Structure formats: structure tokens, C-alpha cells
Structure 1
């Protein structure tokens, strides 16, 4: 192609759609991050309180109770040394047993085989805390019944902690509600932008007046800035589309005059080889310009009035285009092979597919001085490969940029693949490219809605 469609309006629209997607992401982020922070806060507080209760329980059981039982045992031994008839401790929460000279008759059977120490042991279906200590020929068993103490701990420890926890939950919930109310205008703004259909509605129809009346000053400033941006963007898009459409239409008249004059000149037979070559060059350039105008009109068309789709048989279309492009830019040292693995039908506008494959074929012919151009038609994919000059990895990253050319001496302005990329993005097709320097390039176009309608055809050369 000689030159390409101006991408100013598409760049602005892409920027606006990027902003819209960010609004949607921020909407989800603000809403869900706030909930996430609230739940995380509740979880951490709950874990902290549970850890505190568990730690308190362990401290009470392993430290305070142990020290208390050791103190009780020491007190008993002191009394026992003074009076061997001193009875074992027997209080509301503490029961003692004394075995003298290994006489365990007064000791519960569950304790008789236990060794001195501090632990829990089974007794009448429960597991009280037991402390056993030996002194000379006597063994003292102290059994601490913590049920009553546990009840007191529950009422004076767990219940207050639970109330504190409930209050913390309540305060955290109120904080969440206040935070949500504070950012609700931003969330509403994000929802409006997210739900707005930019393809079927103009930017001027994005009405934020209702939100402006309820929003605070900061959000109102954001809404005003967004309104100014949409107004300016709408003007840019209208200007770009009007220019492209009008310029494309106006170019048709001089091209028609040039084409008519060229047809008259080509009827003469007395041209020298150099003159005939110049006429051929004019004819090829004229074809490029006509294709370019079709592309401009296609890309400038509004989404509200899309091109009519039809089932296009890719096999026949590619055969025709290969013949046309070969006559226009091909050379005798390049052969073409078409491998038809199936009959492939694509629901699309034939003009769009014509522009797409013409640009790909022109690129393949232009960068292949000698060798083979292979076209493979598969179930949902068309692959065009050549044995041309190929590209380095650095060049592959720039190949879809406007006006980029692999070779500076190559004819054209480096817009063919740019147009191909934009058409694929426009119609939801996938474009893949592989290339190796001095070995060739392979470009695949994947059509998700393609339909296989027949079996394999013979390979055409």
C-alpha cells in the first residue's frame, strides 16, 4: 500500500477504552479491596484474641496451677514432718491422697501406676490435673479439679473477651460502612463508565449529571475532567473520521480520470520497453491507491453500520488474489504453492478479507527475491510462508508499527502489516508471525468463527 489510514482517532479511542477498563478494574479493586481489608482485619483480630486466650490458658495451666500445686505439696510436707497424722489436702477444688510405704489402698486405681510429675490423668471419665511427689517413704497425690475454676475463667475471662471481640467487629463494620460511603461516588462513576456501550453510543451520550449532584467536591472535579475529556475526544474522532471519509471520496474522482487516461494510453502498441514499463508501474500504483481508498473507507466506517457479512470460501478467494498479486508484483524466480487441507468458509465481508490477504501476499512477494511462497489452508487458519529475507527478533517487535520497513530500499511505505493487524483486531481474528533472518517469514491468521465445509483439495502450484 502506498500509505495508510490515519490512526489518530483510533489512538484516542484506544486511550479512552484503556481509561474505561482502568475504571472497571478500580471499581472492582476499591469495592473488593475494601471488603478484603475488612475481612482481613476481622480475621487478624480474631486470631489475636484466640491466641491470647490460648496463651492465657496455657500460662494458667502450665505455670500458675503447677506453682500452686507445688506450693500446696510443700505446705503439706511441712505439716507432715511435724505431725505424721496430718491428713492429705481436701478442699473444694483440691483433693489429696497419701501412700505410705507403697500402700496404695487409699489411692484411686487410675493413679496407682503413675510416676512422680505434673500431668493430666484419667479419673472417673475426666482428665484432671495431677501432681505427684515423693518424700522419703511417702508419696503425695494432688488432684486439681479445674472445672469450677474453668467456669469462673469462662465468666470472668472468655465472656469479657467475647464481648470485646463483638465490639471490635461492630466498630470494624462501622468503619467499613463509612469507608464505603466515602468512596461510593467513585464506585458509581466506575459503574457508569463500565456499563456504557462505546460501540453503539457516542461519547456525548455519557451522562454524568446525576452523579455530579450527589458527589463531593473531589469527585465532582473528576467528573468535570472526564466530561471535558469526552467532549474533546468526540471532536477529535469526528474530525478524523470526517477527514478520512471525505478525503477518500474526493480521491476517487482524480483516480477515475487517471484510470481512464491510462486505459487509452495502453491501447497504443508503439511504446518502447522503457515507456511500457512506466505504464505498468502507473497501473500497479493505481491499483494500490484504489485498494488504499477501500481500506480507508472500511476503517472509517462506524460500528453502528458494519459491512454486511457473507460466507466467503477462502480457497477460491486466495487462488484469485494470488493470481492478481503475482501479475502485479511477482517475478519468475518465485513460485507459489497452495496447500488446501480443507474447504474453509469464513463469515466476513469479502472486501475485508480481500484487503487482508492482498497485503499479506504483497509482503511475501516483495521480500522474496527467489524461492517459494507457500499458502496453507487449514481448519480455522490460513498460513502464508515465504523463503525471503526474514527478520531478526528485534525487527519482529517493530513489524506492525506504521511506516516500519525491514529493508529501506524496499518499495512501499511499511503500512501493509499495520493495516493487517488493525483489521484482525477489528474483527476478532488472531495474528501470529514467525521469522528467521535469511530463511523466511510465516504469518498465520486464525479465524475463530471459520467453518470447514469440505474435505482436502489437491495441492496447487
Structure 2
């Protein structure tokens, strides 16, 4: 690259420093016009009003010329500003830039074009992955679930077979909840998907049977306490996935006892209460997913350990609605 002449990328050639040189020419011409006006006024060739008018005209002409040169940067800014609503990656392609474009502006446009192209490719891969994963993972799970349900109806199964079928059913339900959580986190554009106004208490009441089925086979009892009621504008699906992750983590910490879901003012708490032995201080993969969901949707997650080994996970909702 010859920085004194051109900067070349592929077939496009842009002059290096052309923008600065044109600005220098504009302000040089303005300075010459102002000095000439002052000299004419000093020697009495032109009256003061004419000198002042000439200075104003020269300054206005310089401002218009500088504004015209700034159009390249303004156009680039407008294209970037419009990406949020209507992305147009090809508007920054080097082949669509004017030959009068300065090399520095062309380099900036080229870099933004490459970055936007990679982002578009990432979004396409995200959509393809979530679509394929949703279908390819849920289909075999549905087959396993149906087969396990059919086996559970067989009257000739031994006790060992019945226990095995129940374990398969429980693992299938847990896998469904895990896939749901991972797909939610994988969708970058799913922040507002499925949003609606709902009452937290009602969603939890409707989901208690499913939650108890997921805990079937464990020596754990699930209870719902409702000292408060409030609503949210969010996705009920995301809310239930988050609650399930906290409940599953509590079940891992307490292999027996009671797991209590408490609806508090502006928060939902999940605690494990044991009678004879302290809860196990063990956090699994479920809590990691819960943290990511809380960060993604800006629902702060707080962890607390009380005397006796009781672990409490509390999720706060900054923006609540009246029930």
C-alpha cells in the first residue's frame, strides 16, 4: 500500500488522507477569504458592512463545503444506527462506497461490514441450532416417554422393573426441563418471546402436579406457601423452568425432608427443610443454569444458608404487577 496515493482492498481504491486534505483546502480558502476581506477593509477599498458580509459569505461557504465532506461519516453512522430495526450489511460493502471516500472511512466501513457479516452468520447458526436441537432432542425423548408409559401399564412387571420404569420416567421429565432451559439460554433473541401478564401464584399452583411428578421416587415432599401474591409480565415458560432448576438443586441438597416454595412480596424462595440431618452443601448443574437465566432476564438470585443446614435460593423480581 502506498499511503501517499491509494489504499487498495480487492478492486476498490481509496485515497489515503483525502478527507484531511479536502478539509485543509476548505479552511485554507476560508482563511484566505477572511484575510482578503480584512485587507480590503483596512485600506478602505470596501466599506465595513461589505467586509462583514464577505466574511459571513466566506464562512458559510466553508461550513457548507465541510458539511458536504462529512456526509461520508454521516452516512456510515445512519447505516449503523438502523441496524437494530433493519440491518443492511451490504450497505457497508466496499464495492458500494464512492471513489471519493477517504481510505480511513473505507477501512472503518470494511471493518464494520466484516463484523456485521460474522454476527449475521452467528444468528443464522443460532437459529439453525435451536431449531434442529429442539426437534432432534425432543423427538427421541417423546418416544422414550411414550414407551415408558406403555411399560408402566404392564401388569407382569416385577418390582425391579416397576422401579426401573419410574426412574426412566423421572429422568425423561428432568431431561425435558433441562433441554427447555438450555434452549432458552441458546436463543439470544428470545428475551421477549412468549411474554404475557400472569399471576405467579396461579402458575405455580398449576405446575405443582408436574413438579411433584419430576420429584417422584425421591424421599422429598414438595409444599407451596403463599404469604403474598403478585404478577409478572414475562414468559411463564421461562419462570417455570427457573423454578424447576431451583427445586431440582434443592432436591440434590436434601435427599429427604421437605422442599418449600414460598411466594414472598416481589420474590419466590425455594428452601429445603430436613428434620434429622443437615442438608448437603452441594450445588449442581441446575444452579449454574438458574444463575444464567437470572442474569439473562435480570432477576437477581440470592443464596442463603441458615442454622441446621437449611439452604434457601431466593429469586427477586424488580418489576412486579398487582395480582
Give the TM-score normalised by structure 1. Answer: 0.45
Tell me how far 1:235 sits from its aligned partner. Answer: 1.3
Structure-2 residue corresponding to 1:288: 174
Report the CA distance between 1:303 and its aligned residue.
Answer: 3.7
Contact 2:184 2:190 in 1 (8 A): no
Equivalent of residue 113 in structure 2, options 227, 232, 236: 227
Q: Using the alignment, how far apart are the partners of 1:256 and 1:386 within structure 2?
A: 31
Aligned mates of 1:385, 1:193 — CA distance in 2: 51
Distance 1:261 1:345, change over 3 A: same
RMSD between superposed Cα atoms in Å: 3.8
Does residue 261 (structure 1) correspond to residue 147 (structure 2)? The answer is yes
Map 1:338-377 → 2, pairs under 5 A = 338-377=224-263
2:280 to 357, 369, 389: 389
- Tell me which residue corresponds to 1:420: 290
Check 1:310–1:263 CA distance in 2 against 1; reply closer, same or farther (3 A cut): same
Cα offset for 1:279?
0.7
Q: Deviations over 1:133-160 (max 9, x none)?
A: xxxxxxxxxxxxxxxxxxxxxxxxxxxx
Residue 445 of structure 1: which of 290, 315, 320 is its match? 315
Instruction: Please state how far the C-alpha of 1:340 moved relative to its aligned partner.
Output: 1.5
8 Å contact from structure 1 (residues 329, 366) kept in 2: no
Other-structure match for 2:158? 272
Gaps of 5+ in 2: 1-66, 274-278
The structure-2 alpha-carbon separation of the partners of 1:309 and 1:212, relative to structure 1 and needing over 3 Å to count, comes to same
> Rg larger in 1 or in 2?
1
CA 1:272–1:449 in 2, change beyond 3 Å: closer, same or farther? same
Aligned length: 250
Equivalent of residue 299 in structure 2, options 418, 427, 430: 430
In 2, Cα distance between equivalents of 1:450 and 1:205: 42
1:395-406 pair list within 5 angstroms: 406=283
Q: Secondary structure at the match of 2:265?
A: coil
Q: For the Cα contact (< 8 Å) 1:248–1:296, is it kept in 2?
A: no
CA distance in 1, matches of 2:110, 2:156: 70
TM-score (norm 2): 0.62
Match of 2:203 in 1: 317
- Identify the residue that residue 252 of structure 1 maps to in structure 2: 138
Any idea what SS the aligned residue of 1:342 has? coil
The aligned runs of 1:58-457 (5 Å cut-off) are 195-198=81-84, 200-202=85-87, 204=89, 207=92, 216-295=102-181, 298-299=184-185, 303=189, 306-329=192-215, 334-387=220-273, 388-390=279-281, 406=283, 414=285, 416-426=286-296, 428-436=297-305, 439-453=309-323
Question: Secondary structure, in 3 states, of the residue corresponding to 1:373?
Answer: strand
Separation in structure 2 between the aligned mates of residue 278 and residue 366 of structure 1, nearest angstrom: 20
- Shift in CA distance, 297/221, structure 1 to aligned 2, threshold 3 Å: same
Distance in 2 (alpha carbons) for counterparts of 1:292 and 1:212:
52
Kindly indicate whether the alpha-carbon contact (under 8 Å) linking 1:429 and 1:445 is maintained by their aligned counterparts in 2: no
CA distance in 2, matches of 1:206, 1:305: 28
Q: Which moved more, 1:382-391 or 1:234-243?
A: 382-391
